[in-house]
Amino acid sequence: MSQTRYTRDHEYVQVDGDVGSVGISDHAQSQLGDVVFVELPKVGAKLAKGAAAAVVESVKAASDVYTPVSGEVIEVNDAVEAQPGLINEDSSGKGWLMKIRLSDPSELDGLMDEGAYVAYLETLA
């Protein structure tokens, strides 16, 4: 069974076993507006928690995407590079950015679950 965790910077990681799918939250994509360009890391890249891992550009701004967990990039979503709008359409489904093999699953403990993330968003309004 997978679990989803969130950062205060609006990234998510959907964890299934020792692999996490990383992307930006629905809140983040709505704040960015229409996504027009995505730059993803290379497969095999080793990332530390909090490191800039990808770039998402919209009609409003460019934004770094920081990895919520440490690990190795084992897959990237080529579809979002070809169709960046997938992030706007389905940020936590078809719009995922990369898959990371977690090197330290205990890092998940420092992230918010969905309920805590929703409560956090309410403080931003």
* pLDDT higher than 70, residue 1: no
Domain count of the chain? 1
Q: What is the pLDDT of residues 78-117, one digit of tens each?
A: 999 999 999 999 999 999 999 999 999 999 999 999 999 9
Do the domain assignments include residue 55? Answer: yes
CA distance 83 to 116: 31
Coil, helix or strand at residue 19: strand
Q: What is the pLDDT of residues 80-90, one digit of tens each?
A: 999 999 999 99
* pLDDT higher than 90, residue 2: no
| CATH code for the domain in which residue 12 is found | 2.40.50.100
CA distance 102 to 90: 24
Which residue type occupies 63? S
Instruction: Indicate whether this model's pTM tops 0.75.
Output: yes
Q: Are 108 and 5 in contact (CB under 8 A)?
A: yes
Q: Which domain holds residue 90?
A: 3-105
125 pLDDT band, cuts 50/70/90, is confident
Concatenating the DSSP letter of every residue in 96-110 gives: --EEEEES-GGGGGG
Q: Are 89 and 24 in contact (CB under 8 A)?
A: no
